[in-house]
Amino acid sequence: MQFDVLTLFPEMFIPLKQSILGRAQEKELIQIHTVNMRDFSKDKHKKVDDTPYGGGNRYGN
């Protein structure tokens, strides 16, 4: 079974290589692949945020 995880923080999934999930990966019962969404950013700062919805400013003007 394969799991693909889209994330901004792939380092958060390192602990999944331990415990029960780690043993399942060692036995090749499951595969967990993390994809860093920042790798696909076209911005030079690797920004992934979108523009705010609705426009205007935060004060409602």
pLDDT in tens, 11-52: 999 998 888 999 999 999 999 999 999 999 988 888 888 777
Q: What is the pTM of this model?
A: 0.66
SS3 of 15, please?
helix
Between 7 and 61, residue with greater pLDDT: 7
For the record, the structure tokens of 2 come out as 């394969």
Q: How many CB atoms lie within 10 A of CB 16?
A: 17
Could you state, in order of their start, the residue ranges of all structural domains in the chain? 2-40
Closest CA to 3 of 34, 27, 24, 26: 34
Query: 41 near 47, Cβ under 8 Å?
Result: yes
